[in-house]
Structure formats: structure tokens, C-alpha cells
Structure 1
Amino acid sequence: MRARPRHARLPQGGPGPRPAGRAGHLARTRRRGRHRGARLLRRPRPRRDRQPLRRAVRHSARRPPRRRRPRPRPPARARRPRLPGLQAELHRRHPLRPRAVRGRHHLPAPERRHQPRTDPPGRHDGVLAGPLPRTARRARRRGRPLHLPRPGPRRRSRPTDHRGDAVIGVLGGYGTVGATTALLLTGRAGNVRIGGRDGAAARKFVADALDGDGEAWQVDAFDPDGLARFCRGCRIVVNCAGPSYLLRDRVARAAFAAGADYVDAAGDAAALSATGGRTGVISAGMLPGLTGLLPRHLAALASPHGGPAERLDVYTGGLDRLTPAAAGDFLLAGQEEQGAALAGWRDGGKVARALTPAHDVELPYFPGPVTAYPYLSVEAERVAAELGLAEARWYNVMTGDRVLAGASTATSAAELARIAELELAGRTPYYVLLFQLTGAHGTSTLVVRTADSYALTAAVTAHAARAVLAGDVPAGLHHADAVLDPVRVLADLEGVATAEITDAVAPIDLAAPAFEEGAL
């Protein structure tokens, strides 16, 4: 008969060994409550390890920990929302949609996930608005988790736009001019689609400024495919991006190809001849745009008094910031296709170097001395020719010479924008449009004053877009000063600028020819 294995002794300091022998085995059997005879016929099991922690450490160092498989969660429709008792009581008194329920059962569409919820009430609102069931009240008193009853069938979220299928695409819609234009068009004409190179900025503008009532698109105006996708489905495309000398007619061609109308806040070069039966309005801003519309309005008011107009003097400018796009247009303003510096209009044609700059002069409605720099733009030539003026002078007015000097030394538009910002530091911005028409009727003066020239540009652009949507502009490509109604435009500018027409201002004459024709 084999000898029974002896139990090993534990290290010193631990519990003593169990009593060996038959008596100890019987004692263990009785304590465990098992049958005595059956236990005596079996071999005793080897004793368990007395150092499980040390062995567990050794095994854990040898093999990696076992990963648990995630349990499959039930579908969202089958889960019940669990709210604490206090929150349920607040919802019972004030029937509002809980954030947890809204986020769980009303997920927005993937393309609108950045927008706040504006769909109809959810399926839990009726449950939370009424009195709590008896089981819920009992659970609330006992401090247990509250289980609301199973809600009814889920409602599909509806689109927020109930005004029709009109979509207004605003390219550069989160910029200085585009943001104000989009705000003026929201809620009046149709759903607004904001596009630009920075998709995050477009989504932030739609969520914050438009309260989610719009679309956010990431589109580059120099990408033909992306621009075509942005214009597809739009009733009208409003271009507020820049600079205009780089974009030219890219956006207009994409809009007409997609079957949409087109409005451009700048874009003085009318290079398009075919619009596909759609309507296009260019130069629909402050400059160009309002600077060509108001002289026409002033000439129409003076014509009933007899005699054609003889001379037109225009002074536009002030103290305002420069955006990068506006700074880029300002740097290239001296190109032949944009206009001519120091030029004037005389005897039905453009005369080069006919005028000189005037420094530290006092002009009506301008606070303090200013510098008037002659500049004859393409719009000024067109307006002077159509009105049949004998003489016309256009001046860009600046407060100080820092911006004008920086235009000749700046290497980039961003540098010129910083120079304009330094010029504006600590001073109140302003912008003045002063028009003076002299003829047989006398001298009439029209002045428009504003504190933000970019807001004034956006107001004119939004008015042009609404006029196109209303059908007030015929099909084809037009300049804004030729098709817009100046009375309606001035009425829309009441909240942005102030307009005044008077005959009390004396004629202004800053003209001083640099040299006679033919002289060296």
C-alpha cells in the first residue's frame, strides 16, 4: 500500500499545517458536511497553493490579459430612456424635450449633424408632458431609477424650410460682405446655402448666425467641379467672394450652366454674352454699383427742371478697414482694364492725366482735411457716356496719406490691409458718397453716409438678389446701375446708411489740369 503524501509546511510566520492523519481527515470531512464512508474510500486531494497572489503575478507577466468581447447593445428604438426622479419631475412641471432623449432618439441627418434640432416634437414629448404613471411615482419616492413607459411610433424629422424650393447660394457667405448678405436674404426669399473654402467656418456661421436654417458647403471657386456641384439646385447664386480680378466670370459661367440666376457684388467686366435664358446682375455693390446708380438718380431728378447736365463731380471714400479681397482690388486698381488714375471725362471721352491729387482739402460732409485722388473707373466711363455728360470727375477720398503711400510699397494685399488697420486704430470709421451735378437747373447734391462700407455693399447686393427673384430684372446680363430702381434701393438702405438730397451746397471744383494738351 502506497504511503499517503505528506503536506508541505508553510513558511515561518503563516498559519500552521493542518493536522495530518486519519483523525484530521475525518475532522475535515465532518466540517464539510459530506458522507463519511464515501470520503474515506477516496484518495485525499493535494493541498491547494497557499500563495495564489504570487502565482497570479507570475502568470500575468507571461500572458497578455484576456479581452472581453463587447456585448451587443439593443437597437436604439427598443431602449427606454432612463431619467432620474428629479429630472422627470422637472419635465412633468415644464414639458421640455430632454437633451438625453433628443440626442438618443432624434439623430440628425449626416449632412446636418452640425446644425441644431429644428424638427417637430419627438415621440417622448407626450410622455413627459403628462402626469407620471403610478410605478414612476413610486420609483421616484423610493429613489430608484425612473423607467418611462414605452413611447409610440417614431416620427420622421421634417425639413425646416417650408417656404418652397428656392435655394439661394451665397459664395463667400461667411466673409465680411457675404455674411451680412446671407443674413439679409434669410427668411425672405428662400433657403440659404453658404459656400467657401473653409468648411468649418461655413458650418459655424450656419449654426451660430443662421440658427441652423441653411446649408454649409466647402467649395473652392477655382475648382470647376466643386463649383458646379455648389450651383446645382440653386435658384440664384450670389457671388461675394474675391478678389474680383482673379475670379472674373468663373462663378457666373458655373451658375448659368446649372440653370441659376446670378448676382455679383463686384465683377465689373461683362465678358459673358450668353446666359442661357437666365438673369445676371453684376456690379451690384457699393463701388461699383451704388456709385453708378445714384448719378443716374440725380440726373433723373434734375431733368424735369430743364436742360441737360453739364458736369458731374463724385467724391467717395473715408476711413474704413480693408479686407484682403478689397486690398487686392485696391492694389490692381491702376490696371488699364480696371480704370485710369489721374484721368477725367471731357467732351465725350476719357482724357489721360487731366486731373491732379488734392491734399489737405475741406469737403462737405467729410470730417476734417482729406486727400482727393482722381481715378476714372470703367463704371464711371460708362455712366458718363450714357448720361451724355460734358465733363465728369471722380475722386477717391482718403483720410491721411498712409494707405495711398502703402499701395505703392506694399508687396501683398495682407500688408496693405494691416496698413489700413493701423490708420484706423483709435479712430471712428466712416464712409461718404458725395455726388454733385451742375447744369442749367443749378447744382444738386446727393450724399450717402455710413459707418460700415461693407454693410452698405451687402445691402445693395441683397436688394439686387431679391429684385431678380421677384422678376423685376429681365433676362440677360446687366449692370446693377442700369436695371435697379434707385428709389427702392435708397429705401432699403435706411437701416445701414443715411441719404440726403439738397441744393444748398455750393459747387465744388478741385480740377487743376497738370498741363495743356500737346505741352511737354
Structure 2
Amino acid sequence: MNSAERTIGILGATGYVGREAARTLLALPGHNIMLGGREPEKLRQFFPEIESKGECLPVDIYNGELLADFCSKCDILVNCAGPAKQIKDRVASAAIDQCVHYVDVSGDESLYRQLLTRKPEIEAKKLRMIVSAGVYPGLSELVPAYVAETYFDEMDLLEVFFAGQGGFSLNAAYDIVSSIEEDTGLGMHFCLKGEARKIAGAFHSSYTLPGPAGKVDTYPILHREFKQMAERYKITAAYFYNTYPNRSVLNQFMMIKALEQYKTEEQKRASAKLLTEQYAGNKEAANDFTMLHLLAGGYKNGKYLRLAANLLTNHDWNTLSGTVAANVARVLAGDNRERPGCFFAAEGIRVTELMKVLAEQNIGLTYTFFQK
């Protein structure tokens, strides 16, 4: 099917992430766009241009009939609704039932595991189900995958630092607290030859990144998405560092985990509120930005090279996540490969094509090589 004939549907278009996903797709030619929400009139007020590009339909993700009807009108469904930990596989399952390709801006490992239980059906229906298609996880694996494909024949070292200035919605913060409860990601671990290993020696407890990030506190963590990316590209040693503008922000996360402030629904919501307030306080002091900084070493054409690469935007991570998810859907729409299945973003689409379309929207890499 030609990509111009595809209809891309978006759920959660009134949220921080969904708004940018909708804006991105509505600003670009070549697709029919459908927006779904409980209040279609509110969607029309947010996006008056929808009248010439598609339509708005009433959808409640907890109403199976309305959800199925919306999915049936799409070729690709982009889910930006949250909290993901409450929605679970509800929207993704509706997409499978209606034979619709699927992109989830979050989803992460828990949704990935749920979808794998329906792998035979997904493959029989020739569907592509892509989860973790935001910034982190998502771009945090897509960028190093692109670097591995483009600049190296083999890579023996990769270090990725994620930094940013922005806020959390309550839904996003709720998902973070739920991930702390589920113990998603291995703290103080890295990937060595495809295996998770505890960091026993020295590591970056703080690091000075290019501006505007500057000196930040860092915490090494290994998520399944990053581990699978490193394993796929046979990277010998791969480290991922989440960063924090100051120690108090990191301590807030540590406190939630140490005191198990997620046992009840009330505790989860209270902890989520604390996180939004913590980040809102930092947001007042600086302009928004999102940064991925990479250090890599390996061989290209028989020569050993070291590379420093930087992706920097003046958008917060919510806005950038919406942009990434929208472009993942665009790349998926134009990809006619018979490659069905459930994938993390860096596995499920052509990373070089995604980085190309992001660069066209002024989201690109700068890089420097240092020959050994």
C-alpha cells in the first residue's frame, strides 16, 4: 500500500505528548489523520486544521465498542493516551483485533511482554506493533542504533547520556512511579557482550555535558530496550546514564523506591504529584531542552575511531516524544517490508530513515571523530 493512502489515528491528542504528535502529522502532507477523544469538539478547537486533513471521532479507551470502531478506520494507530500502566494492552489489543499497525509512545517492557503472548496472531495478520516510541525509551535507542549502522563496522564501547529540562504530566509521573514499583530497569548495570552486568568499578557519578546541560548528576541504568539494541549491534560494552540537574531530584526518586511509596493507588498518585512538583520547580529556572549525548569507539574500514555525537533540541521531552512517535508512524507507513511482529522502536523501523525525517524537522546529530 502506498504511504499516501494510509490513515493514521491518534489517541490522547489533548495531552502534552499527543498534542505534538497530532501537530506534527497535521503539518505534513501525505496522510489522512483521525483524532479520537471523549470530546471531539475539544479536539476541533485544538486542531482546527483537522477539517481539511481528516476527522475527529468520539472515543473512550475503556469503551470497547467505540475503541474498536475507531481502530477499524485506521491503518496505523498511534497511542499517546495514559497512564500506560493503567491502560496496559487495552488499546494495543484493539488494534490487533482490527488488524491495525500500532505505535505506542510509551508502553515499555511490560506492554512488550504482553504483546509477545499474541505473537503468532500478530505475525499471521502481518502487523507491526511498535512500543517505546518516544524519547526515553525510544530515541535513546534509535540514535545509538543509527550511529552503529552509519559510522561503525563494529563498536566496542558506547556511552549514552540523557539530559533535559522539562516537566511531567501526572500521567507520565504515574507511569514512572509504577515502573519504580515494577523495578523496571537494572540500576548500576551495563551491557557487556549482550549480557547485563553489575558495574563493579568506576563509573560516571557526575559528568559535564555540552551546554545547556553542563555538569549533571548521573545514574547508570539498563533497560531492556537499550540492552536489546546493544545486543543487536554486537556492541561490546554499552552504558546508559540518566542524568539529573541536581542531587535533590535524584534523591526524590531514591526516596520513593526506598520507602516503597507506591504500595497503594493513593501512594502512587501522591508520589506522582511530588515528581511533577519537583520538576516544575526546576523548570522555572531554565529554558526547556532535551539532549542525547553519545560517546562511541570502534572500527570503520579497519581503522579505530572514537566519536562524540550530540542531539539537542529546545523542546522538552514531552514535545519531542510526540514528534518522535508521529515520525515513527510516518516511517512505518512508507515501509512495505513484510516484517510483522512486536518490536521496540529501534528494532521495528528503518532507523536511518527516521533520523533523516527528524533532521528535516531540525532534530539532528552533530558529531566529531577522533582517530586513535
CA RMSD of aligned residues (A): 2.8
Identity %: 26
Q: Structure 1 201/481 Cα, relative in aligned 2: closer, same or farther at 3 Å?
A: same
The letter of the residue matching 2:298 is: G
Which residue of structure 2 lines up, in the alignment, with residue 424 of structure 1? 283
Q: TM-score under structure 2 normalisation?
A: 0.81
Question: 2-side partners of 1:393 and 1:340: how far apart?
Answer: 12
Q: When you count strand as a share of all residues, which structure comes out higher?
A: 2
Q: 1:416: how far off?
A: 1.3
Q: Is the 8 A contact 2:305 2:370 kept in 1?
A: no
Cα deviation, 1:103-144, whole Å, max 9, x if unaligned, reads xxxxxxxxxxxxxxxxxxxxxxxxxxxxxxxxxxxxxxxxxx
Letter in 2 for 1:437: A
Change in CA separation of 1:505 and 1:241 when aligned onto 2, cut-off 3 Å: farther
TM-superposed deviation, 1:165: 7.1
Larger RCO (CA within 8 A; separation ≥ 6): 2
Change (3 A) 1:183 1:313: same
Deviation at 1:376, TM superposition (A): 0.7
**Deviation for aligned residue 1:442:** 2.6
Provide the C-alpha distance between the structure 2 equivalents of 1:214 and 1:280, rounded to a whole number of angstroms: 23
Distance 1:386 1:437 in 2: 16
SS in 2 for 1:194: strand
Q: Report how many residues are paired.
A: 340
Change beyond 3 A, Cα 1:335–1:347? farther
Residue of structure 2 aligned with 1:446, choices 309, 314, 326: 309
- For the pair 1:482 / 2:347, whether they are aligned, the reply is yes
Is it true that 1:464 corresponds to 2:304 in the alignment?
Answer: no
What is the CA–CA distance in structure 2 between the aligned matches of 1:211 and 1:418, rounded to whole Å? 37
Shift of 1:504: 4.4
CA distance in 1: counterparts of 2:298 and 2:7, whole angstroms:
46
Match of 1:201 in 2: 42
- Aligned partner of 2:240 among 388, 394, 417: 394
Secondary structure, aligned partner of 1:204: helix
For 2:356, the equivalent position in structure 1 comes to 491
Higher helix share: 2
Find the partner of 2:130 among 278, 281, 303. Answer: 281
1:356 to partner: Cα distance: 7.7
**AA in 2 matched with 1:420:** Y
1:291-324 deviations in Å (ceiling 9; x for gaps): 21222222223434xxx32121110112211122
Supply the AA of the counterpart residue of 2:239: R
Using the size of structure 1 for normalisation, the TM-score is: 0.59
1:263·1:284 contact (CA, 8 Å) conserved in 2? yes
The answer to whether the 8 A contact 2:331-2:353 is kept is no
Q: Structure 1, residues 475-509: CA drift from partner, whole Å, max 9, x if none?
A: 42233212433333223223343411211499xxx
Report what 1:87 is aligned to: none
**How far does the alpha carbon of each residue in 1:385-438 deviate from its partner, in whole angstroms, 9 at most, with x for none?**
222233221100111133323333473323311221111113112211012112
Describe the shift of the 1:309–1:194 C-alpha distance in structure 2 as closer, same or farther (beyond 3 A). Answer: same
Which has the larger Rg? 1
SS in structure 2 at match of 1:385: helix
Q: Given the alignment, which residue of 222, 226, 230 partners 2:66?
A: 226
Unaligned runs of 5+ in 2: 262-269
**Quick one: distance in 2 between partners of 1:355 and 1:331?**
29
Change in Cα spacing, 1:502 to 1:357, as seen in structure 2 (3 Å) is closer
Q: 1:371 Cα shift? A: 0.7
1:47-86 alignment to 2 at 5 Å?
none
Residue aligned with 2:108, SS: coil
The residue number in structure 2 matching 1:54 is none
